[in-house]
């Protein structure tokens, strides 16, 4: 799972460098208009993905060797300094997630935790696919499933089938999912702006 996420991040970075449009969940919510706003929006996107994929679990083990892609450090920074910077950023993210409403934090966790959804679901809902699955699950908390299939996977499979049969209001569900994701991103961005660990700003230990 981590290798797949790393490849995804690498593709996004290549698209940024080549000037090709890349899918950033934060752009739709924050609507960046200037180069600086675009940079901040995408840093937030990378940061949230990094936190939920790598940092959260590693922070519990006090072992965090990977920095988010936006973090700025000098070539002279030691491994200990890099780890300290990673912990500093992760703790700032955790503080912000605690500061926002619990619903917002759970929406962000759902959106940024890597999962494999049916292609119909991914195509219909894009970055908000996980939220759409949760909404579908709320309407049907006990979907029929195989013994080894998780409840969310079963809900996603049923949602995919409903999309194919055109028995689900895709537009309304997508609007609802995107509204929830956008509200969570905006709330996080506001909390993050007040956090002591600024985006991209190296700490004294990494200079």
Same-domain status, 114 and 175: yes
Where do the DSSP E strands lie in the chain? Answer: none
Same domain (yes/no): 22, 96: yes
Answer yes or no: are the C-beta atoms of 85 and 64 closer than 8 Å.
Answer: no
Q: What is the pLDDT of residue 126?
A: 94
Whether the per-residue pLDDT at 79 is higher than 80: the answer is no
Checking phi first, is residue 167 left (phi over 0); if not, alpha (psi -120 to 50) or beta? alpha
User: Residues 10, 87: one domain?
Assistant: yes
Question: Do residues 11 and 69 share a domain?
Answer: yes
| 55/8 same-domain check | yes
pLDDT tier at 86, thresholds 50, 70, 90: confident
Per-residue pLDDT, 19: 36
Contact 132, 121 (CB under 8 A): yes
Q: In this structure, are 139 and 47 located in the same domain? A: no
Do 129 and 118 lie in one domain? The reply is yes
Please tell me whether residues 164 and 195 are part of one structural domain. no
Structure-block tokens of residue 164: 């194919």
Q: Is 77's pLDDT higher than 60?
A: yes
Separation CA 66–CA 59 (nearest Å)? 11
| More confident position, 109 or 59 | 109
pLDDT at res. 112: 95
Number of structural domains, the chain? 2
| pLDDT, average across residues 67-82 | 72
pLDDT at 119: 95
Handedness of CA 138, 142, 146, 150 (dihedral sign): positive
Given a contact cutoff of 8 angstroms between Cβ atoms, the answer to whether 168 and 162 are in contact is yes
pLDDT range class, residue 72, cuts 50, 70, 90: low
CA 197 – CA 61 distance, rounded (Å): 21
Domain interval for residue 189:
2-101+185-206
CA-derived radius of gyration, the chain: 18
Q: pLDDT tens across 144-193, in order?
A: 666 555 888 889 999 999 999 999 999 999 999 999 999 999 999 999 99
Q: Is the pLDDT of residue 88 over 80?
A: yes
Shared domain check, 126 and 86 = no
Alpha carbon distance 37, 102 (integer Å): 26
Percentage of the chain with pLDDT > 70? 73
**Is the model more confident about 57 or about 191?**
191
Residue 42: phi and psi, rounded to 5, are -75, -30
Instruction: Report the distance separating Cα 128 and Cα 183, nearest Å.
Output: 12
Shared domain for 193 and 155, answered yes or no, is no
The tokens describing 20, both together, are 């090709």
17 with 111, same domain: the answer is no
Largest Cα separation within the chain, whole Å, is 59
Residues 84 and 141 in one domain: no
* Token pair belonging to 173: 């569900």
């Amino acid at each position: 799972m981590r290798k797949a996420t790393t490849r995804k991040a690498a593709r996004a970075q290549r698209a940024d460098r080549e000037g090709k449009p890349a899918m950033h969940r934060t752009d739709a919510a924050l609507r960046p208009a200037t180069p600086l706003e675009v940079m901040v929006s995408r840093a937030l996107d990378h940061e949230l993905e990094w936190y939920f994929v790598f940092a959260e679990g590693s922070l519990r083990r006090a072992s965090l060797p990977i920095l988010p892609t936006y973090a700025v450090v000098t070539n002279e920074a030691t491994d200990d300094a890099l780890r300290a910077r990673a912990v500093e950023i992760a703790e700032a993210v955790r503080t912000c997630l605690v500061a926002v409403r619990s619903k917002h934090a759970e929406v962000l966790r759902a959106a940024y935790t890597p999962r494999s959804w049916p292609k119909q679901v991914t195509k219909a809902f894009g970055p908000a696919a996980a939220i759409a699955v949760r909404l579908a699950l709320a309407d049907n908390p006990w979907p029929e499933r195989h013994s080894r299939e998780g409840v969310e996977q079963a809900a996603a499979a049923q949602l995919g089938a409903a999309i194919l049969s055109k028995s689900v209001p895709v537009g309304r569900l997508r609007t609802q999912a995107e509204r929830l994701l956008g509200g969570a991103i905006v709330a996080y961005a506001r909390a993050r702006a007040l956090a002591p660990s600024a985006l991209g700003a190296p700490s004294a230990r990494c200079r």
